[in-house]
Amino acid sequence: MRLNFTLISTFLFASAVLADRGLEHRSSQLNIQKRNTSDYNGINWAGAVSNQSVPTFWAISSTFKAPHVSGPTESAVGIWVGIDGFYETKCGATFLAGVGYIMTNDKPFYQVVAQWLPGTWKEFTDVEVSPGDLITVTVTVASDRTTGNATIENANQMTTQTLGFSNQPALCQLSAEWIVSKVGDRDLANFSTVSFSNPLALGGYQKFTPAGSVITSIGNETAIYADENVVTIWRAY
């Protein structure tokens, strides 16, 4: 069911926040230590990051099947693709799009959103989402780094919508991410496996996949597999 209230999110991949308008914004500063395996643990999101040391990424896309979401009231989960959300880039701006879910009265409510943070978010009001639907998310950035588009397509319902952004804080174009996130201080909702298929990021004339990317986990709550064709995240119980 679509959310009947407005979601606000502060999406810092070190502390992802997706919450209703009445929830106080909080951004935890976490001491994340890089492990020899290039994995991160104990943060609020799980998935794969392709990163570069110079401005590179101007587009990212992937397709995932909308999961079944369950759990206690107020638990939540978000599914996103984005640019410049990686903690180590310290960019100060992030562009992302996807679907956020919050459990209310034991039912999952959702909102399909694109956000250019800090500050600007827009809802895909033409896109409905049901469990099992194939959702394709594409985020693109113009050469000025302050303008871009987010497109979400629901193949099952044959709906597509594009939202444009302009005059935004400049992106750094240093990282591209495919992730599942917690929502502020809420418990992580239960979700069926999320698989980002055909994960692709573009930088200059190059194509980047999650092969060899940085892999992250929400403590012991999630497990992840990633290669050049897929990023799969599932709930570890």
In the predicted model, is pLDDT for residue 34 greater than 50?
A: no
In the predicted model, is pLDDT for residue 179 greater than 60?
A: yes
Q: Nearest Cα to 174, choosing from 208, 138, 216, 150?
A: 208
Q: Nearest Cα to 231, choosing from 204, 213, 210, 208?
A: 210
List helix spans (H) across 184-234.
Answer: none
Q: What is the mean pLDDT of the chain?
A: 84
CB 78 within 8 A of CB 101: yes
Q: What share of the chain is helix, strand, coil (3-state, %, to 5)?
A: 0, 55, 45
In the predicted model, is pLDDT for residue 233 greater than 60?
A: yes
CB 130 within 8 A of CB 91: no
Residue 85: CA atoms inside 13 Å, Cβ hemisphere, count? 35
Q: Nearest Cα to 39, choosing from 232, 235, 226?
A: 226
Where residue 3 falls among pLDDT bands split at 50, 70, 90? Answer: low
Residues 6-29, mean pLDDT to the nearest whole number: 33
CB atoms within 10 A of CB 95: 29
Residues 135-153, mean pLDDT to the nearest whole number: 98
pLDDT score for 210: 95
pLDDT score for 23: 26
d(CA 236, CA 93) in angstroms, rounded, equals: 31
pLDDT score for 185: 84
Q: What is the DSSP letter of 188?
A: B
Query: Encoding tokens for residue 86?
Result: 């990686």
pTM of the shown model: 0.85
In the predicted model, is pLDDT for residue 126 greater than 60?
A: yes
Buried b (16+ CB within 10 A) or exposed e, 188-205: bbbbeebbbeebbbbbee
Q: What is the pLDDT of residues 46-98, one digit of tens each?
A: 999 999 999 999 999 999 999 999 999 999 999 999 999 988 888 999 999 99
Name all domains of the chain by residue range, CATH numbers in brackets: 7-19+37-235 (2.60.120.700)
Percent of the chain with pLDDT over 90: 69
pLDDT score for 42: 56
Residues 13-34, mean pLDDT to the nearest whole number: 28
pLDDT score for 183: 84
pLDDT score for 26: 23
pLDDT score for 184: 80
